[in-house]
Amino acid sequence: MKSFESNKGSLFKICIVGDGGVGKTAITDRFLGKKFQTGYQLTIGAEIKVYTQNIDGKEIKYQIWDLAGQPRFKFVRSSFYKGSHAIIMVFDLTKIESLFNLFSWKQEVFKYIGYEIPLMILGNKNDLKDQIEKRIIRDCIKKLKHEFLLAEISYFSTSALNGQNISDALRAIGRILLRTPLIDLYEKVIIAK
């Protein structure tokens, strides 16, 4: 228990999920301050990126697991969710099915994790025209919250192209994680096993 407590504020594992092509890799590259790439490079299996952020004078390290979104990688993904402290779910603001697919993403993630952890939803590519109506997005998030009895879901509209809201979203997760008692998560993991 003690070692877990001392973890607080130092290292958090976050999985980023969502359909292929919504911008997960571009978003995680942004976290790292990498240049935006226009070419589409398929993520195979998972990429793990470590990112440090300073929140209210506290240094927080995130280990971000960028998972492959394609269904054929599903069997690999299950083992990656274990031990996550938070989940980022991404959809493409110009592709309504990527928003509706968040329901199955949510189901998959929590089937493997087995307990509730903070969830953040990012509607990405807000630099593009012809976006899904705000009302539909709001309704979907409300439904997700209701269906899965979640206390809290945070939502940000982002752009990995121009960087809008990307570090703010991560900072928001950091703040949520800092006030989530890790001892609780630890006990939940034990129960889930």
In the list 14, 24, 131, 141, the residue contacting ligand GDP (rule: CB under 6 A) is: 24
**Residues whose CB falls within 8 Å of the CB of residue 44, separated by 6 or more in sequence, listed in order:** 68, 73
- CA–CA distance, 161 with 118 (Å, rounded to integer): 26
Instruction: Point out which span in 7-15, 36-44, 71-79, 135-143 binds ligand GDP (CB under 6 A).
Output: 36-44
Smallest distance from ligand GDP to CB 34, Å = 11
Residue 25 or 124 with smaller CB distance to Mg ion: 25
Q: Distances from the Cα of 60 to the Cαs of 31, 47, 177, in angstroms?
A: 13, 20, 10
Both tokens of 14, joined, read: 């976050």
Instruction: Point out which span in 2-10, 16-24, 99-107, 167-175 binds ligand GDP (CB under 6 A).
Output: 16-24
Instruction: Point out which span in 80-88, 97-105, 124-132, 147-155 binds ligand GDP (CB under 6 A).
Output: 124-132
Instruction: Point out which span in 38-46, 75-83, 108-116, 179-187 binds ligand GDP (CB under 6 A).
Output: 38-46
3 state DSSP class of 127: coil
**What sign has the CA pseudo-torsion 191, 179, 170, 103?**
positive
3 state DSSP class of 109: helix
Which residue in 181, 192, 174, 159 sits closest to 83, CA to CA?
192
Which x/- pattern over 155-184 shows residues binding ligand GDP (rule: CB under 6 A)? Answer: ----xxx-----------------------
Q: Which does 96 bind (CB under 5 to 8 A by kind): ligand GDP, Mg ion, none?
A: none
Residue 160 or 170 with smaller CB distance to ligand GDP: 160
Both tokens of 176, joined, read: 């949520």
β-bridge partners, 14: 64, 86
Asked whether position 43 contacts Mg ion by CB under 5 A, the answer is yes
Q: How far is CA 41 from the centre of its chain?
A: 19
Q: Which does 124 bind (CB under 5 to 8 A by kind): ligand GDP, Mg ion, none?
A: ligand GDP
Residues that bind Mg ion (CB under 5 A): 24-25, 43
